[in-house]
Structure 1
Amino acid sequence: MPDGGIGASTKRREDVRFLTGKGRYTDDYNRPDQTYVWFLRSDVAHGRITKLDTSAAEAMPGVVKIFTSADFTTAGGIPAGWQIHDRQGEPMKEPKHPILAEGKVRHVGDPIAAVVAETRAQARDAAEAIEVDIEELPAVVDMRAALEAGSALVHDDMGTNLCFDWGFVEDNRDAVDAAIKAAPHVTTLELVNNRLIPNAMEPRVALGDYDQADDQHTLYTTSQNPHVIRLLMGAFVLSIPEQKLRVVAPDVGGGFGSKIFHYAEEAFVTAAAKVVGRPVKWTSTRSEAFMSDAHGRDHVTKIELATEKDGTFLALRSTTLANMGAYLSTFAPSIPTYLHGTLMAGNYKTPQIYVNVRAVFTNTVPVDAYRGAGRPEATFQIERVIDKAARELGIDPIEIRRRNYVTEFPYQTPVAVNYDIGDYNALMDKLIEIADVAGFPARREESAARGRLRGLGISSYIEACGIAPSNLVGQLGARAGLYEAATVRVNPTGGITVFTGSHSHGQGHETTFPQVVASMLGIDAGSIEISHGDTAKVPFGMGTYGSRSLAVGGSAIVKAVDKIIAKAKKIAAHLMEAAETDIELKDGRFSVAGTDKSVAWADVTLAAYVPHNYPLDQIEPGLEETAFYDPSNFTYPAGAYACEVEVDPETGVVTVLGFAAADDFGNVVNPMIVEGQVHGGIAQGIGQAMLEAAGYDENGQITTGSYMDYAMPRSNDVPNYKVDHSCVTPCTHNPLGVKGCGEAGAIGSPPAFVNAVLDALNSGGIKVDHINMPLTPSRVWAAIQAARA
């Protein structure tokens, strides 16, 4: 086995350029004769545009052209990538999402006009000179109010703010209702999954270029899936043939879901570059990002868990309002439905489950996938109601989970998905060990001696990664296939370039993918390069999200390498005058089984391109193969998490003292990278549970428009983690046995944190059933005061 193969904690090779300032991000790209665009955005949440006069702005220095919606009459709207049908089988309401506002603005930040100028400053100054009058209309922000009769309509032509009313599985509904009605015990909980604003290190950037000589469009953009942007923008928005549209996503400084989607700014710069005959570049400011990047979460839920008196689960019913914002973002309809409802079984063998989701339009920024995308929302509901049920029934929170864990696999859930493998008890055993649960009572006493309340919160999670297969998700409403593609090109001297449709924005693909290939071929990983993010180089791809990179993208690479090996064996057999069936590949050499005959990897690759001794009548020259991989099922990572906190009952301040995570990610390619992914996810989950929340006032004005008002977790907000991934049940249906790790930390950590805070309060005699996230000091203090009153 070569150094740096599967299982090695190889340092990330891409970090050399990142840490030395040599990374090439989208904003580092500039084209000759480039112009700059500044968007005039609405400062009201809802209103009719009654005046839009650009004449004064057009005369300002440096202005090249000012665009309004009138310039895009032939363009389509930004499309949704997933269609949901409601409980009656009717398709969702799908209003047009224009590139620039057409007659009406629908959220603060909605782009009204765009100024293209010689410099960014000139574009901004001219945008401020545009005369615009907006007849302000009542804004609808609260989802319940949005569904009331007489509410202001975000989209007048729809006649309602309800996007869809979805039931899953609808055939389960009556049985669930009956089971809950007859149950010995029912635990009910109402909770909010707070709206989050993604904050990647790199704000979004889009640079459009047009070559008149060959009618070729190029878009450089901060995207997690450039091929999908090319497909959506080319086919549905600008009507550009795909062979005439190249999308390049270079180094991307973080995404977490917010850079999956096709945004209006990308379509604008692509179209504007052709109109003005020069490249057009837009770089988002951080404040602009707060009101133009898709937000995450924003659910209001009532969940009911029916149990026997001994805690055995009988049925679960969940009713959710899910905020879509003003428009449907690319994958928005799928997040609260199939990426949420299908996970409502959790790790447990609940016999009856019914999930109802009503998606609502409001005068707010659109909401879409954010790290975990539907699975954190499902897990939070389940793990919070289980903890409340344990308290009501007087059962230890670990014990009630153990009594209901799925223990036999494969397991068909009542919500469509089939878990192929897992061991949730082993994960809980490991968690109890690394979290030192046995030593917790003594630590609690030590806190009490200092006037503090210490709590221990437990959560279990399961998630579905590598959304698949395409024929199934197509039936569920996906408007694209969810396979992955890879091309493996072997050079004459034995070096390799892998072209992958998976895109890296922090996952370490340039390190882990070579580890996979190196292990298969028995060669040095340093001889393998990864190419991604350019639709002109990579045959096709569906990008990176949903922890799909290794499970789907890596499997496509494996399939392509398998083809390489098969052809290389034929060449080696000819070189050694042996039967192909007798050829073995080990440690970078082909040998004839049972003999000392062998040829090196480089000998075979050279022969493929210098076919002097080559069976040309049987094998064509060259050594390059392409494979598409469409999974047969999701992968199902799972874990058990413990959070330990201390609460100051006089101030409501919560301090996270410890966090332990036991995860089953299947086979692990690079343990160091996996650990880093878990660390980052836990920090994001603690951020949501403890600090972060996007806010709007009654007029639709965003009240958290900068870091002055939107609190992000800092290093002193999180502890040193104890992370373990030694409990391995390899995935049964992909060639690597991997499951995915990128979102786990953000899924399991919020309920663990909230459960810990409530355990601290209740153990101190302060009876509090629930506090909505984020558990800021003021909210915790208010709950304490209410309980003491």
Structure 2
Amino acid sequence: MIGVAVPRREDRRLLTGAGTYLDDLDLPGCYEAAFLRSPHASARVLAMDTTAAKALPGVIGVWTGRDLADLVKPIPPKVTNPKLYDVPRYPLPPEYARFVGEPLAVVVATSRHIAEDALELIDVDYEVLPAIASTGAALAPDAPSVHDEVPGNVAVHLTQTAGDPETALATAPHRLRERFVVARGGGHSMETRGIAASVDRATGEIVVWPCTQSPHYTRNLIAYFCDVTEDEVRVVVPRDNGGGFGPKAQFHGEDAVVPYLARLLGHPVKWIEDRSENFVATMMERTQVHDVEVGFDDDGRLLVVKNVFQHDQGAYCAGLQVPTITLSTLPGQYRIPNIHTELIACYTNMVPTSSVRGAGRPQAVVAMERMMDRIAEHLGADPAQVRRVNLVQADQFPYQVGLTFRDGSPLTYDSGDFPALHEAVLDRFDYAGERDRQRAALAEGRLVGIGLGAYVEGCGLGPYEGARLRLRRDGTVLVTLAATPLGQGYETVYAQIAADGLGLDMRHITVATGDTASIPFGQGSFASRTTVTAGSATLQAARRLRERILDVAEVLLKTSAANLCFVDDRVCVVGEPDHGLTLTEIAQVANIGKHGITLPPGVNPGLETTSYFAPERAAYASGMHAATVEVDPETGQIRILRYVIGHDCGTVINPMLVDGQVLGGFAHGIGNALYEEPHYDAAGQPQTTSYLDYALPSAVEVPPVELVHLYTPSPLNPLGVKGAGEGGTIPVPATVANAVEDALRPFGARITSLPLTPAKIVAALTAG
């Protein structure tokens, strides 16, 4: 079944309105929570009077961080570093608010409406403090401190080098430098964050239903905040999840508060984030400022790249995964003997940043790919040719870049064929023809430009993921995963993988996910990692379960397992389809048995297998994008005329689903390239807190795309797969920016800030 475009099993219930999301959960008599959020980016809470709020009919209780001393424990960063100046991030900070939207108190009432009415009755006395709203402001010599204990507002300063970059820069025949700015953006999933919790009165178990990408991570932190063992917490992710895109892989303060209060009250409590809260309180990503310099020879061959970038960490460090990915993603598909890549992560009075689809890679690709075009322009060369002379060659894999990836392993590209991918995209794009059409358009007075963008994506990250397979009494096989689906089609893909490993038709296979009571350990769905890890675990467990089933059948049919095969839902002697047993009959013997009766000799009980796959290091997917755009110089509007995506994610399990992931990622990338830009004033006040002000692309704005696939299996896992969920997003901003600057080249305009809004285009034309 691997490689077959099987339609998604999930779609019927989703298309007919039968999906089950968190807010569909029926908890009779459930209380609802609402959070009081800071209206200031930086303030000290001098006093908070909750008397009137508590007196409102229907209010169960009102709590601040000072009321819940046991809950005021730091939320640990997801990824850290010994050099990090970490500061506590509390679920309900008792004294200081560090960003607009930070939760400071919680109301629990019989309905959300009453809870929100009560919020308006809370009287807070704030001492408003100076705020930092950008990395530039954070690094200014006279900048106020976001946290008194952090010198210069620098959360962490890290550098990686390969070769001798300073000498290479000093001796390079040609040098260019530029500053590029990439704006913030959010995940904006259709279903916002939320969490519900209850306590089983009989067992004392805390049962939690969260919108999360990482159920076991959530379970462990809830156990930490409630001061219980992880076995006393059960996390059950609803069957359907309306998108994640990174923010739901993080642990926010509300995720600790709601289970804590459910346990305190002995009553179910639920909180569903509204869209206004999502704009100000859910973690974001992308904000980086890159100062990049390259040295190269007369042929455009890269001799050195130096990139020093500022990363907006927000008010707290939820984790360093994003900037450390940027740190090592810079080289992309190119052979660069000398590299200097340097991170300065700053604390600001903004909502904390963490992963959003692409997770630090789009910013690095902007820095590298924009400079590739600048090299071509400087030399009067073709941008495609400049890329050709720098590509890692197919016979150089595994290719050691000379840096360290965010998983702690040496940055080593496992497999690929970048030149073949490059040429396949240019052929489909008809690159020479597009250049001819561009010249013809210019002769007509139209501004048409062509852009290219290449990337390498570290994916399939550890530490591990697991799968449990069990033959059930009805003769079907249940595949249980710790990782939770967010729209990727897990119920289909993992049934395909299990079917391949078992040699059994996938009609007899069911997939269940996201229940920590069903599989004890897991990491979650993020970082384009799950098919590598959970997929490999599923394949391994399926192969072992096949052996176990055939071992039982061998005894019962009195023949060698080598002579047996699956025929529909039966295990039969090869060539004798009538001589066999159904899977139900085999389960009856090995799993159920007869009470008090000894098993047949040679039959081992329990047809269940569990496997955990831990990759030795990351796998590396890759891709190449090509675009033609037209720019209206009067309005600044950009129209994409042609777009081709080349993608290599190794072995493809389900081509239809991979295409869907790539195209969905592309839509996200179009938003980052052209539309999504939150604005803040100098005091850190958000100015774009609804979709009236924050533009997301719709189906109308996303242009048609042509896809080209290359398949270079990874040698690092038994499936040969790599990640597919983020590749469509990663190079889009760089590709579109290259195309737009190419279109504006007659005016000498420079594109250095993303997204490319009409106002920025007009400003670039005026400045040029």
Q: Is the TM-score greater than 0.5?
A: yes
Equivalent in the alignment of 2:15: 19
Give deviations 1:569-621, integer Å, cap 9, x for gaps.
32232234334456566877656679999636625445433668997444422
| CA displacement at 1:445 relative to structure 2 | 4.6
| CA displacement at 1:156 relative to structure 2 | 2.2
Equivalent in the alignment of 2:401: 413
Higher mean displacement: 178-187 or 257-266: 178-187
**Aligned AA for 2:75?**
I
**Aligned AA for 1:387?**
D
CA distance in 1, matches of 2:531, 2:507: 19
1:771 and 1:783 in contact (8 A); partners too: no
Equivalent in the alignment of 1:728: 711
Equivalent in the alignment of 1:152: 144
Equivalent in the alignment of 2:692: 708
Query: What does 1:669-680 correspond to in 2, within 5 Å?
Result: 669-680=653-664
Equivalent in the alignment of 2:390: 404
Equivalent in the alignment of 2:265: 276
CA distance in 2, matches of 1:601, 1:548: 36
1:487 and 1:539 in contact (8 A); partners too: no
CA distance in 1, matches of 2:193, 2:79: 23
Match among 218, 230, 234 for residue 246 of structure 1: 234
CA distance in 2, matches of 1:249, 1:139: 37
CA distance in 2, matches of 1:550, 1:665: 11
1:686 and 1:718 in contact (8 A); partners too: yes
Equivalent in the alignment of 1:286: 275
| CA displacement at 1:343 relative to structure 2 | 2.0
CA distance in 1, matches of 2:87, 2:752: 35
Does structure 1 residue 386 correspond to structure 2 residue 378? Answer: no
CA distance in 2, matches of 1:129, 1:595: 78
Q: Secondary structure at the match of 1:717?
A: coil
Equivalent in the alignment of 1:370: 356
Match among 93, 99, 108 for residue 101 of structure 1: 93
Where do 5+ consecutive residues of structure 2 fail to align? 404-409
Does structure 1 residue 533 correspond to structure 2 residue 514? Answer: yes
Match among 540, 543, 552 for residue 571 of structure 1: 552
1:656 and 1:717 in contact (8 A); partners too: no
Q: Secondary structure at the match of 1:18?
A: helix
Does structure 1 residue 771 correspond to structure 2 residue 752? Answer: yes
Higher mean displacement: 159-168 or 659-668: 159-168
Does structure 1 residue 742 correspond to structure 2 residue 745? Answer: no
Match among 70, 81, 101 for residue 74 of structure 1: 70
**Aligned AA for 2:278?**
A
Give deviations 1:466-522, integer Å, cap 9, x for gaps.
113xxxxxxxxxxxxx20011001113421111001210110001111111122333
**Aligned AA for 2:627?**
C
**Aligned AA for 2:345?**
A
Equivalent in the alignment of 1:509: 490
Does structure 1 residue 266 correspond to structure 2 residue 266? Answer: no
**Aligned AA for 1:115?**
V
Does structure 1 residue 130 correspond to structure 2 residue 130? Answer: no
| CA displacement at 1:553 relative to structure 2 | 0.8
1:451 and 1:648 in contact (8 A); partners too: no
CA distance in 2, matches of 1:633, 1:686: 31
Equivalent in the alignment of 1:476: none
Kindly tell me: are residues 413 and 593 of structure 1, through their superposed partners in 2, closer, same or farther at Cα, counting changes over 3 Å? farther
| CA displacement at 1:685 relative to structure 2 | 0.7
2:631 and 2:639 in contact (8 A); partners too: yes
**Aligned AA for 2:633?**
P
Give deviations 1:746-789, integer Å, cap 9, x for gaps.
11211111111011111xx11123331111111001111111xx
Does structure 1 residue 357 correspond to structure 2 residue 343? Answer: yes
Kindly tell me: are residues 742 and 121 of structure 1, through their superposed partners in 2, closer, same or farther at Cα, counting changes over 3 Å? same
- Please, what TM-score do these two structures have when normalized by structure 2? 0.95
Kindly tell me: are residues 313 and 587 of structure 1, through their superposed partners in 2, closer, same or farther at Cα, counting changes over 3 Å? farther
CA distance in 2, matches of 1:691, 1:679: 17
Match among 1, 17, 35 for residue 39 of structure 1: 35
Query: How many pairs align?
Result: 755
CA distance in 2, matches of 1:266, 1:610: 40
**Aligned AA for 1:79?**
P
**Aligned AA for 1:218?**
V
Does structure 1 residue 683 correspond to structure 2 residue 683? Answer: no
Does structure 1 residue 140 correspond to structure 2 residue 132? Answer: yes
Does structure 1 residue 484 correspond to structure 2 residue 465? Answer: yes
Q: Secondary structure at the match of 2:370?
A: helix
2:199 and 2:266 in contact (8 A); partners too: yes
Query: What does 1:164-175 correspond to in 2, within 5 Å?
Result: 164-169=156-161, 172=162, 175=164
| CA displacement at 1:100 relative to structure 2 | 1.1
Root-mean-square deviation (CA, aligned residues, Å) is 2.0
CA distance in 2, matches of 1:228, 1:648: 48
Give deviations 1:138-194, integer Å, cap 9, x for gaps.
10112122123442222223344111111124xx48x11111111111221210121
Kindly tell me: are residues 457 and 118 of structure 1, through their superposed partners in 2, closer, same or farther at Cα, counting changes over 3 Å? same
Equivalent in the alignment of 1:441: 435
Query: What does 1:746-765 correspond to in 2, within 5 Å?
Result: 746-762=729-745, 765=746
CA distance in 1, matches of 2:326, 2:567: 44
1:147 and 1:161 in contact (8 A); partners too: yes
CA distance in 2, matches of 1:238, 1:444: 63
**Aligned AA for 1:490?**
L
| CA displacement at 1:221 relative to structure 2 | 0.9
Kindly tell me: are residues 590 and 219 of structure 1, through their superposed partners in 2, closer, same or farther at Cα, counting changes over 3 Å? closer
Equivalent in the alignment of 1:633: 617
Query: What does 1:545-694 correspond to in 2, within 5 Å?
Result: 545-580=526-561, 599=580, 602=583, 604-609=586-591, 616-694=600-678
| CA displacement at 1:77 relative to structure 2 | 1.8
Q: Secondary structure at the match of 1:340?
A: helix
CA distance in 1, matches of 2:636, 2:141: 40
Match among 421, 445, 449 for residue 451 of structure 1: 445
| CA displacement at 1:214 relative to structure 2 | 2.1
**Aligned AA for 1:379?**
V
Higher mean displacement: 28-37 or 442-451: 442-451
Q: Secondary structure at the match of 1:404?
A: coil
2:213 and 2:244 in contact (8 A); partners too: yes
Q: Secondary structure at the match of 1:112?
A: strand
CA distance in 2, matches of 1:179, 1:421: 28
Where do 5+ consecutive residues of structure 1 fail to align? 86-90, 469-481
Equivalent in the alignment of 2:406: none
Match among 207, 211, 216 for residue 218 of structure 1: 207
2:505 and 2:568 in contact (8 A); partners too: no
Higher mean displacement: 592-601 or 535-544: 592-601
Q: Secondary structure at the match of 2:372?
A: helix
CA distance in 1, matches of 2:532, 2:11: 23
**Aligned AA for 2:219?**
R
Query: What does 1:227-238 correspond to in 2, within 5 Å?
Result: 227-235=216-224, 237-238=225-226
CA distance in 2, matches of 1:538, 1:609: 19
Equivalent in the alignment of 2:407: none
**Aligned AA for 1:29?**
L
CA distance in 1, matches of 2:197, 2:235: 9
**Aligned AA for 1:403?**
V
Equivalent in the alignment of 1:88: none
Q: Secondary structure at the match of 1:71?
A: coil
Q: Secondary structure at the match of 1:291?
A: helix
Q: Secondary structure at the match of 2:700?
A: helix
CA distance in 1, matches of 2:599, 2:460: 40
CA distance in 2, matches of 1:630, 1:244: 26
Higher mean displacement: 649-658 or 567-576: 567-576
CA distance in 1, matches of 2:45, 2:724: 46
Give deviations 1:405-436, integer Å, cap 9, x for gaps.
11121111111311111011111121112212
CA distance in 2, matches of 1:588, 1:404: 54
